[in-house]
Amino acid sequence: EDVLSEEVDLEAGENHLHAFSPMLHENPQLWWPNGLGKQPLYTLQISFEAGVSNGAPCYMESDSCSCRFGFRKIETCVDETLGGGRRFFVNGHPLFIRGGNWIVSHGMLWLSRERYQTEVGFHADANLNMIRVWGGALAERPEFYDACDERGILVWQEFWITGDCNGRGVPPSDRNWPLDHELFILCVRDTVKMLRNHPSLAFWVGGNEQVPAEDVNNKLMKELRLAG
Amino acid sequence: MATPVRKLVLNSGWIAAKADAVRQTGEELTTLNVVCTDGSDVFDAEEFRPGWIAAIVPGTILNTLVNAGVFPDPFYGLNNEEIPDIAHVGRGFYTYWFCTHFALPDLFSEGDGGVLSQCTRVWLQFNGINYSADVYLNGAKLVHPNPRGMFLRRAFDVTHVANFGGENRLAVLVHPPEHPGNVDGGGQGGDHDIAKDVTAQYVEGWDWIKPIRDRNTGIWDEVAVVLTGAVTLQNPHVVTVFEGSSLAKAKLHVSVEVTNASSAACHGRLTAQVIFNSDDDGFYVV
């Protein structure tokens, strides 16, 4: 259980996504938001050992990678009986959201693991259970998410769309910004791949209080749903 | 996050200089034993020559300039007013060279060769550059298909230019966002021009912060040199799906991007292992 080895053949220059056979895990320790329980974390380690192809089973580690994750199920829906507000359930239990707004840890991007742990810790100590990362700043760093994983803070992560591109203002902005939509999507894909395993990551939002340009939004909706 | 076989994080020993004050090209800056007009070595960080200062990487150019005493800390009092805004002085004012050097072991000698062998590949990884950069290593310009964008990780295969068993010289010319915008009118986000780029937008100022003068230009996240074999792993992904409503059983769907960077076919074994980090500071394989 929970250890899996699979033989792989790769052509020269080949790049592909390898999906392992599903692993069944019994009685997982559940990850809970701050105030509802503990935050047990698991580590996934993956390694590739290259073998000599002439029949000799001589394996040598070529590369390895790892990520932390947690067992939790987050569900959300819009509840019209509650005025159209969004409800959240974690591991089947309803969660009353007590959220904080997050911009950036330091205006000159003087970021550190310790600073993230302290600042996220303040939120947890204040009994909050969600942080919204505003789209006018950063896709927050893995060190920020590590701190949220460890303190049970759910994260609402926005992409980089704000009042600077809502078609209003003096002079007026343009709802079609940024200019390079492909670059925006490329950055989104890379950001999602970087952060998607963190149990604290609750959901993505296209932008601040608005949706991105139509083609960008359509791609986000399609690709994020597929990823889910 | 990736845990490669060998990784060297480049977070110290950096120096920086304003681009228009540097006469050398990127190739020249990263060629061994290059000597400047005043007789000193570009990388002689002990005696900073005029124009070169100790740099903070990861960080922003403004962070480096504040650290070097060129400008006061913008977050105290009205200090921000004393720092030139990119809208007034132009993008060139905050276009800087960042240089460092690092040593690589001689992987082909008797000692280390047994570990990594001839299949070794060397990768230069940048986790975040705002907004674009020209990268040089050991006299060669490294080209990336996507040079622009604040939120993009970039990796260069530098195996062919890496100097094993000796010093390697790295120079990065960092350019600010292409549309830094004008903030003279104040208000929410100045003239909003920053939103034309894929970058942080708060830097033109908002109702809660004054404009960031350099628009957060810089190598703002980790830089590392990573050694791997010919086959590399990237972006591991794990999805937990519970079976039924009891939450007592779950299926783990695990995937990873596998790349054979060599020009030869390769056979190997992929292994995935789940480890539970227990409360008592120990851990064990489930």
Residues B221-268: tens digit of each pLDDT: 999 999 999 999 999 999 999 998 889 999 999 999 999 999 999 999
Q: Which of A1, A73, A165 sits opposite B242 (nearest CB)?
A: A73
Query: Is A127 exposed, middle or buried (CB count within 10 Å of its CB: 0-12, 13-18, 19+)?
Result: exposed
Partners of residue A107 in chain B, C-beta under 8 Å: 74-75, 209, 212
Q: What is the β-pairing status of strands A154-158 and A201-205?
A: parallel
Q: Cβ of B7 under 8 Å from any chain A Cβ? A: no
The Cα A143–Cα A155 span in angstroms is 13
Residues of A in contact with B248 (CB under 8 A): 26-27
Is A223 or B86 the better-scoring residue by pLDDT? B86
Percent of chain B with pLDDT over 70: 84
Q: Which residues of B touch A110 (CB under 8 A)?
A: 56, 59, 63
Q: How confident is the model at residue A224 (pLDDT cuts 50, 70, 90)?
A: confident
Q: What is d(CA A140, CA A116) in angstroms, rounded to the nearest whole number? A: 10
Chain B interface includes A56 (CB < 8 A): no
pLDDT of B114 reads 46
CB contact, 8 Å: B3 with chain A?
yes
Residue-level pLDDT at A36: 96
**Which residue does chain A place closest to B261, by CA atoms?**
A13
B72 burial level (CB within 10 Å; 0-12, 13-18, 19+)? middle
Chain A CB contacts of B146 below 8 Å: 183, 186
Closest Cα in chain A, distance from residue B138 (Å):
25
User: Between chains, do A193 and B235 touch, taking CB under 8 Å as contact?
Assistant: yes
Nearest C-alpha neighbor of A148 from the set A165, A135, A131, A160: A131
pLDDT at A51: 83
Q: Does B254 touch chain A (CB under 8 A)?
A: yes
Query: Is A48 close to B242, i.e. CB distance below 8 A?
Result: no
Residue B93 has pLDDT above 50, yes or no: yes
Q: Do B272 and A7 touch (CB under 8 A)?
A: no
Distance, in Å, from the CA atom of A67 to the CA atom of B46, rounded to the nearest integer, reads: 39
Active site residue A49: no
A24 token code pair = 């069944």
Name the residue facing A26 among B3, B249, B270 (closest C-beta). B249
- How far apart, in Å, are the Cα atoms of A40 and each of A43, A55, A149, A199, B27? 10, 42, 9, 10, 50
CB contact under 8 A, A22 and B253: yes
Q: Residue B96: helix, strand or coil by DSSP?
A: strand
Average pLDDT along chain A: 93
**Residue B51 φ/ψ region, left for φ over 0, alpha for ψ in the -120 to 50 degree band, beta for the rest:** left
Q: Answer whether B198 sits within 8 Å of A108, measured CB to CB.
A: no
Q: Measure in Å the smallest separation between the Cα of A20 and chain B Cα atoms.
A: 6
Task: Place B1 in a pLDDT band, splitting at 50, 70 and 90.
Answer: very low
pLDDT in tens, B11-20: 999 999 999 9
| pLDDT tens-digit readout, B101-127 | 999 987 665 554 444 455 689 999 999
- DSSP category for residue A113: H
CA distance B240 to chain A (A): 6
How many interchain CB pairs under 8 A, A with B?
344
Question: According to the model, what pLDDT value does residue B113 have?
Answer: 45
CA distance B67 to B227: 32
Question: Tell me: the pLDDT tens digits for B24-38?
Answer: 999 999 996 655 555
A19/B contact by beta carbon, under 8 A: yes
Tell me which residues of chain A, numbers 75 to 94, contact chain B at a CB-CB cutoff of 8 Å.
Answer: 91-92
Q: Which residues contact A65 (CB under 8 A, 6 or more apart)?
A: A45, A46, B1, B2, B3, B4, B233, B234, B236, B256
Residues with Cβ < 8 Å from A176, sequence gap 6 or more? A165, A213
* pLDDT exceeds 60 at position A16: yes
Question: What is the average per-residue pLDDT within A183-206?
Answer: 97
Using CA atoms, how far residue A222 sits from A191, A208, A217, A227, B239, in Å, is: 16, 19, 9, 9, 18
Contact A45 B2 (CB under 8 A): no
Tell me the β-bridge partners of A202: none
Q: Are A222 and A185 in contact (CB under 8 A)?
A: no
Question: Looking at the predicted structure, is the pLDDT value of residue B6 above 60?
Answer: yes
Q: Is the pLDDT of residue B4 over 50?
A: no
User: Which of A148-157, A172-181, B59-68, B275-284 shows the lowest mean pLDDT across its residues?
Assistant: B275-284
Indicate yes or no: CB of A15 within 8 angstroms of CB of B74. Answer: no
A173/A156 Cα distance (integer angstroms): 25
Per the CB < 8 Å rule, is A59 touching B268?
Answer: yes
pLDDT of B44 above 50: yes
User: What is the phi/psi pair of residue B47, to 5°?
Assistant: -125, 90
Tokens 């078609």 — which residue?
Answer: A167
The whole-number pLDDT of residue B3 equals 39
Identified catalytic residue from A49, A75, A182, A209: A209
For residue range A120-143, what is the model confidence (pLDDT) as tens digits? 999 999 999 999 999 999 999 999
Q: Using CA atoms, how far apart are residues B226 and B172, in angstroms rounded to an integer?
A: 18
Sequence-distant (≥ 6) Cβ neighbours of residue A124 within 8 angstroms: A34, A151, A152, A153
Chain B residues touching A224 at Cβ < 8 A: none
pLDDT of residue B2: 39
Q: What is the pLDDT of residue B109?
A: 58
Query: Of B279, B10, B7, which is closest to residue B171 (Cα–Cα)?
Result: B10
CA-wise closest residue to A203 among A62, A86, A34, A37: A86
Average pLDDT over residues A68-91: 93
Answer left, alpha or beta for residue A176, where phi above 0 means left and psi between -120 and 50 means alpha.
Answer: alpha
Among B residues 11-40, those touching chain A with beta carbons less than 8 Å apart: none
